[in-house]
Amino acid sequence: MLFFAASVAGTARKNLRFAISSQSVTSCTLSSLYCLRQLGDEFCIFEQFPLVIDYSVVIRMSEKRQANRIAALQKRVEVAELFRDFVRDHPRLYEYTNMKSYEGVPYLEFEEKGFIKAAWSKTEGRPVIRLTLRTKTEDPDEPAFKTVAEDISKLSDEELANTLLAEINVDLNKPPHWEEGDDE
């Protein structure tokens, strides 16, 4: 039994002592907190408070934390694989985009117009490829980006070209970096 002296909140009783006794059982510790009162030269138990420390809860929490980390890593792998497959399936985009990275996540950027980025969709529970328009705004409260297409991963080359032209004004049928007024 472990004895220690402690002050009781708001009182200065010198005749009180506290003790903890512990008994280990497979996955928990059965403990008791004893409030001891001094009577003469001896201490006798004044009050007893049972304490149970369940270590299986701690083990389950760490197993849950590990499972969450593994699930998060699996999501990142799925997002990266979808982006890799999208870039492989649409080689026409190489000439029109620059490969960039933000916080370790790669994306394809169309110069000052928008970008294509892979992300995990919480609503769909799967990775998606998002087409995002870069907006020019003077208002700092207004977002500088607007998602115009939630998932373009399953589009064919022709459908992708039409979507890029309609949403962010990038024409894949014209030479790269072509602007209106340029001679063809």
- Per the structure, how many domains does the chain have? 2
Residues 44 and 99 in one domain: no
Q: Measuring CA to CA, how many Å separate 158 from each of 29, 70, 129, 173?
A: 67, 37, 17, 10
pTM, whole model, 2 decimals?
A: 0.61
Task: Please check whether residue 20 lies inside any domain of the structure.
Answer: yes
Tokens of 73: 């890593």
Within 10 Å of residue 90's Cβ, how many Cβ atoms? 20
Please report the pLDDT score of residue 131 as a whole number.
Answer: 93
- Domain ranges, residue 27: 2-58
DSSP per residue over 159-178, as a string? HHHHHHHHHH---TTS-TT-
What's the order of all strands across the beta sheet hosting 42-54? 2-4, 16-25, 28-39, 42-54
Instruction: Encode pLDDT of 97-139 as tens digits.
Output: 889 988 878 899 988 788 999 999 999 999 999 999 987 777 7
Residues 49 and 112 in one domain: no
Task: Please check whether residue 150 lies inside any domain of the structure.
Answer: yes
Residues 157 and 103 in one domain: yes
Instruction: Encode pLDDT of 55-72 as tens digits.
Output: 555 556 678 888 888 898
